[in-house]
Structure 1
Amino acid sequence: MNGPTVRDVAQAAQVSLATVDRVLNNRGGVSAKVVDRVKAAVAQTGYVRNLAAANLSRRRVYRFCFLVPSGDTGFVALLHAALAQEQKRLMKKQILLQIVPTKAFDVEDQVAALRNLDCDAVAVMASEAPEINEEIAALHASGVRVLSLVADLPGSRRDTYVGPDNVMAGRTAAEFMGRFTGNRGTVLMIAGSLAARDHSERLLGFRMVMQERYGGCTLLPAGQGGDDADRVERIVLDAAREQPLVGVYAIGAGNRGLIRAIKTLDPKPVTIVHELTPTSREALRNGTFDLVIDQNIRAGVVAAVKIMRDLTENATPPADAGKIKLNIYSRENIQ
C-alpha cells in the first residue's frame, strides 16, 4: 500500500505543491504561519520524505513520472527499456525519473495510479475516459504539469501531447494497403482497444483513405484484441473462415498471434502493423509482414523529459517539441 504523498500534505495544509516543496527544502519565500501549517500537515498525514532523492544535491531536483502500461513484450517493452536508459542518464542532471506501471486499457487501475503520484510533472499513457480526465484536472489544479504520451487526451487539462500524428499514421497504412491489394477484396482491422485514442485515431485515418480512394475494398468491423496474442489470432482466423482476406491492418500489440494466424492463410493477406519490435522485424524479414509503421519511442521519451523540465520551470516549449516522426519499414530497408 502506498504511503502519504506530497500531494496529501498540500491538500491537508491547503497550499500548493510548490509551497510544500519550498518548506520541505528550506528554500524560503514562505511565511512563518504557512511553514507551521505545512509542518502540521506533514505530522498529520505521516508523510516521510525520500531522503535519498532530497540529498542528491542542494540544487533543484526534478521529479518526473511516466505512467505507462506494464509489459515485457513488443512496443511496451521498448518503451520501458527507453525509460530505464533515461533514468540512468538523467540522475547526473538532477532529474529523478519514476516509471509507474499500470494495466493496459484498465481505467480503474490508471486512475488509482494517477491519485498516488508524487512528482513535479507526469507523462501519461492512458485510456480516454472521464475518470482519467478528472484525475488530470486534479493534478493540474495542484500544480503538477501533465503530458499525454503516445495517445493524446485532448479532452483533459493536459499541458501538451508528445507522440506521433496517429490519424496520419492510419492514413499512411491505408494508402499502402489500397495499393498493395489492388483496391479489391476484404480487409480486416484489429485494434487493441477502441478506448485508446491512438488506436481509434489510426482506425479513423485508415477508414478515411480507404473510403476516399480505395472503395473497391470491403472493410470488416474492427476487432479488439486487447493486445493479447491469442485473442488477435482468434480474430484473424474467425474472420478468414467467413471470407478470404486480402489484407490485415493490425494497430496494437499481439503480433505473435497475428503471425501464427497469417502463416495458416493461403494466399497470404497483405499485412501492415505498427511499431518496429524484434517480432515485427523478423516478420518483415521473412515476408509475413509487408510493412511496419514505427514511431521512435526513445525520441518520444527524450522530448517528454525536455518538455516537462521546461514546463516545471515555467518556460514555454516550442510548439512542435512533442511531434514524433513516423518511419516506414519494409523488407528492403530493415536492418
Structure 2
Amino acid sequence: MRVTMSEIARLAGVSPATVDRVLNDRAGVRGRTRSIVMEAARQLGYFGLTETQKGKAVRIVFFLPEGPNSFMRGLRTQLLEEAQARPEVSVQVEEVVNPGPDAYVAALRAVEGKCDAIGIVAPDHPMLREELTQLSRKGIRIATLVSDISAISKVGYVGIDNRAAGRLAGLLLGRFLNHGKRHKIAVFIGSLAYRGHEEREMGFRSLLAEDFPELEIVHFGEVGDDRSKAYQQTRQLLERADIDGIYSIGAGNQGIVQALKETRKSRDVVFIGHDLTDTTRTALLDRTMDAVIDQNPRIEAREILRMLSAAVRGEMEPEYPPRLQVIFRENIPMR
C-alpha cells in the first residue's frame, strides 16, 4: 500500500500541508522541519524500500574514542559480541585517535557511502553536529551512545540520564560523610567537551547546593580520562590539603586509587566513581572506593543495535534509558 502524506505527517509531528511542501520541494519550510519530514518519509518507505530494507545485513559503524578508558574498551567488546548474535547486522567499530572534533569529522567522512547507520560516543561540538546532520540528510541513521549530542537529527540516544547520575553521586557522598560538619570535596572530570560529563557535574553540584551545602568543592580537575594526570593531580592535592571526599566523573580512576593508596588515605576519603571495571571492582573490594554508579554496557550495546537496525528497516523503536545501578562492596555482580 502506498504511504500517505497523512501518515508521514503523523510520524513527523507536522501538518499534511507541510509534508506536501517538503515532498514537492516548495519553499516556506525550515531546514530542520524539512529534515524531519524526509526522515519520516524514508522510514515509512515513501520512496520505496532500499536494498537494506529488503533483507541485506544492516551495515553499522560505531565511533568510540581511542585511549586507555576501561569502560570504552568494555563497550567495544560488548558491541562486537552482541553483533555476532545478530545476523541481520554487520558491525564495525572505529576508535578515533586523538578524539577531538577534527578527528571525528575525518573519521565520519571516511565511512560515508559505506554504512547504513552510525552509533557514536563523541564530544558535543558544532563541527561534529554539522557533519552528523549532513550524514542524516543523506539517509544514514544516527544514534548517540553513553553521552548525547544536542541539536542533531538522530534516531535516538542510548545511555543513562547523566544529570541524574551526578545527583546520585552527590547524594551518596553527602550521606557517607558526617552531617553538620564542613567537608572538602575534590571533583575530577574526564572532559567538559562531553555532554554526559558536563551533565554529571551539573547534577552533582545542584544536589550538593540543595541538600549538603556544608560540602565544599575545593578542587575541580579536568584529567582527560588519563590515569597519569588523575594520579598526579590527586597526589598533589592529598599532600597539600585535607580532602574528605572525591567524586570521579569519568575515567582515570586507576590513578586516583594509586594516589590514595600511596598516601595511605584510602580509608579516610570517601571515593565515588562511575562504571564497574577491573579497576573499580578491585577498589571496591579493598575499600579504596565506597560506591560505583554503573551503566550496563551489554544492555546499551543491545539496545543501540536494536534501535539502529530497526530504523534502517523503516521501523520505529523507542529510546531506552538503562537503569542507574549503585554497586557497593557487598553487591558486586559476578563476572
Question: TM-score normalised to the size of structure 1?
Answer: 0.79
Secondary structure of 2:206's partner? helix
Secondary structure of 2:213's partner? coil
Distance in structure 2 (CA, Å) of the matches to 1:203 and 1:97? 33
1:217 equivalent to 2:211? Answer: no
1:176 equivalent to 2:165? Answer: no
Which residue matches 1:10? Answer: none
Cα deviation 1:267-312 (Å, max 9, x = unaligned)? 6210001000011001000000000000001100110011111211
Distance in structure 2 (CA, Å) of the matches to 1:229 and 1:73? 9
Which residue matches 1:334? Answer: 332
1:142 equivalent to 2:138? Answer: yes
* Counterpart amino acid of residue 329 in structure 1: I
Task: Report the CA distance between 1:170 and its aligned residue.
Answer: 0.4
Contact persistence 1:177–1:272 (CA under 8 A): yes
Secondary structure of 1:154's partner? coil
* Counterpart amino acid of residue 296 in structure 1: N
Identity of aligned residues (%): 33
After superposition, residues 117-196 of structure 1 pair within 5 angstroms as 117=111, 118-183=114-179, 184-196=182-194
Distance in structure 2 (CA, Å) of the matches to 1:289 and 1:94? 41
Residue ranges of structure 1 left out of the alignment (5+ in a row): 1-27, 31-53
The one of 99, 103, 126 aligned to 1:109: 103
After superposition, residues 215-294 of structure 1 pair within 5 angstroms as 215-263=213-261, 264-266=263-265, 268-294=268-294
Which residue matches 1:296? Answer: 296
Distance in structure 2 (CA, Å) of the matches to 1:152 and 1:324? 14
Cα deviation 1:159-183 (Å, max 9, x = unaligned)? 3111000000000000010111124
The one of 79, 86, 89 aligned to 1:83: 79
Cα deviation 1:44-88 (Å, max 9, x = unaligned)? xxxxxxxxxx9xxx9322101111122455101111110221232
Aligned-residue Cα RMSD (Å) equals 2.1
Distance in structure 2 (CA, Å) of the matches to 1:104 and 1:301? 23
* Counterpart amino acid of residue 70 in structure 2: G
Distance in structure 2 (CA, Å) of the matches to 1:120 and 1:59? 13
* Counterpart amino acid of residue 107 in structure 1: P
Secondary structure of 1:222's partner? strand
Contact persistence 1:189–1:223 (CA under 8 A): yes
Secondary structure of 1:65's partner? strand
Contact persistence 1:105–1:196 (CA under 8 A): no
The structure whose RCO (Cα within 8 Å, separation 6+) is larger is 2
Change in CA separation of 1:147 and 1:104 when aligned onto 2, cut-off 3 Å: farther
Which residue matches 2:321? Answer: 323
Distance in structure 2 (CA, Å) of the matches to 1:166 and 1:180? 21
Question: TM-score normalised to the size of structure 2?
Answer: 0.79
Q: How many residues align?
A: 279
* Counterpart amino acid of residue 239 in structure 2: R
* Counterpart amino acid of residue 107 in structure 2: A
Distance in structure 2 (CA, Å) of the matches to 1:128 and 1:176? 28
Which residue matches 1:48? Answer: none
Distance in structure 2 (CA, Å) of the matches to 1:334 and 1:260? 21
